[in-house]
Structure 1
């Protein structure tokens, strides 16, 4: 089957993950998280982050984001996020419908918020006619493939906490961010003071499954009820938990993310040498954003499907995965070079 640059969601599942699923597919175990793999996976995250956390597993990223935010943000509240945030653009209004809260968005060219972006929303606090800001949600890595440094996260968290706001991290590509920065998850999330996380796995080799992790355990009190209401409580949870155990048993998480990031950089390097191609974002994770001659886009998509991110500017998004190969990247660049020379 043809591989694509459309999304890291298009990739298959790491063989190690398939093996882990097969191993737990043996006999009967307790349902709804009362199984050995889920208990061990929670311990694993505690070793990875800190002991005093609450760990829950969900079936997908939207479910993780929506249930987590809905637990801590009342329906009269608001979540501040980038206009490009997944919760704003790609979740079909699920946060607002399920949680009832309002999204307050900021237009950012690189998808990254700053304290200065948050400040304008801190008006009319306590005014009954206005939605009340409760949470700042940042995406790491962002939907534009950019990454918050540890210092930038700490600055946002300090500002948010000073103004009685909580900080959520949508970590669909959290592993790509960690290997790019060369820091541990603890340094990125715990030491900066983040309150809760949607910890991604599907985009880094898992078949399915994400984790909601409350670093501030006081926020987790009612999460189990919200997860159940939100239809994210998988009865055979061991098939999610076993995948996370395999991901962090050794360096699979790092190997997969590092390879995807490396392929994106290789792609960006090649594209930068093609005339009339403009790389629009700093390539820090596994995504490349570029403006390409619209006349060649359909032909390129026949070879390796990808999405046009902005129809007006002809900006495309090219995503690399744990199984993207150098040969595929080189073929894509060679085809673009050939098409570009013909179209000139």
Structure 2
């Protein structure tokens, strides 16, 4: 036996029966992000069920084929799903597919594509973002017009796409009528319409309407469909609703490094979420927990809510000296530190006990600060 083989055999013997121990307290939850949550058990079961044997790689598998049927059931018979790894990849690749090289995207200044994607839409996709200030994260046709101009001017990137987020980064919702008005206005200007739907399930659950009512039927051309924030391990999809508006996705997904070789495991997660009502159960519960948190703090002196709580996020300002003591027990982010504004996000696994304990601590810290 060679030295290398002997070492390998010894390591195998030493590690026989060894399993990885949990490195965190599985009973502890916070309010920093729905990305902090684990994976829903039904999604884990779907991954296990998709394991074993061989399936064709790069999307030519039974699970990705089934996903097409699932997505068409939600978004219409012309829809096509392109599974990807993450939301930034979905947004970058989707926007790239609906724009020429000289194109620009009009979006809210608070949009994830502008604030939280490391410049990827501009660095990787090679497009220009034209941002608009909003009070609640929502665009209107009038706000779009602040940047939708200069058509035919060779000195200006051409505003040829509109991107909105549903639900927004501020936890607010567009109604189907509002999205229809935006789509009609954008299309009238020659723009394609993209929806960043990292929390699309939270929006549908809150509005109580099918996805199609505020996407396909509202004139949206392409959607980044979220899964990770709603119980998946790491699964998103680009959903092309209007194939006439999107070109080359089959190629750009690859050169944007979003083409999974073992795609069946990404698709299986999305099937688990969207074939039945798991997406709705998870999102509806997260929304309900946010509403419970807001109600629990509604009468606390010095706690002022800065946005409507329409999905699974609560935005509020706190008295001086309160946020940091709270964070010693519960993680959450400052949204605007200068205003002492914080963001509390609820997840599919947030419990009523989590809400009640956190609300009690907020009350205690506010009282101590006074």
Partner Cα separation in structure 2 for residue 180 and residue 16 of structure 1: 22
Deviations 1:57-89 (A, max 9, x none): 100000000011011212321100000000000
Note the residue ranges of structure 2 that are not aligned, 5 or more in a row. Answer: 1-24
TM-score, normalisation: structure 2: 0.92
Note the residue ranges of structure 1 that are not aligned, 5 or more in a row. Answer: none
Aligned to 2:81, the other structure's residue is in SS state strand
Deviations 1:286-317 (A, max 9, x none): 00000012301111111110000101001000
The corresponding residue for 1:64 is 90
Partner Cα separation in structure 1 for residue 217 and residue 102 of structure 2: 30
Aligned to 1:342, the other structure's residue is in SS state helix
Shift of 1:42: 0.8
Shift of 1:207: 0.6
Is contact 2:282-2:348 (8 Å) kept? yes
Is contact 2:101-2:126 (8 Å) kept? yes
Is contact 2:103-2:127 (8 Å) kept? yes
Partner Cα separation in structure 1 for residue 117 and residue 69 of structure 2: 30
Number of matched pairs = 344
Is contact 2:105-2:127 (8 Å) kept? yes
The corresponding residue for 2:330 is 304
Shift of 1:220: 3.6
1:242 matched to 2:272? The reply is no
Is contact 1:73-1:99 (8 Å) kept? no
Aligned to 2:334, the other structure's residue is in SS state strand
Partner Cα separation in structure 1 for residue 244 and residue 82 of structure 2: 14
Computing the radius of gyration from Cα coordinates, the structure with the larger value is 2
Task: Identify which of 222, 226, 240 aligns with 2:252.
Answer: 226
The corresponding residue for 1:39 is 65
Is contact 2:132-2:147 (8 Å) kept? no
1:171 matched to 2:197? The reply is yes
The corresponding residue for 2:168 is 142
Partner Cα separation in structure 1 for residue 150 and residue 273 of structure 2: 45
Moved more, 217-226 or 130-139: 217-226
Shift of 1:248: 2.2
Partner Cα separation in structure 2 for residue 122 and residue 146 of structure 1: 23
Task: Identify which of 73, 94, 98 aligns with 2:124.
Answer: 98
TM-score, normalisation: structure 1: 0.98
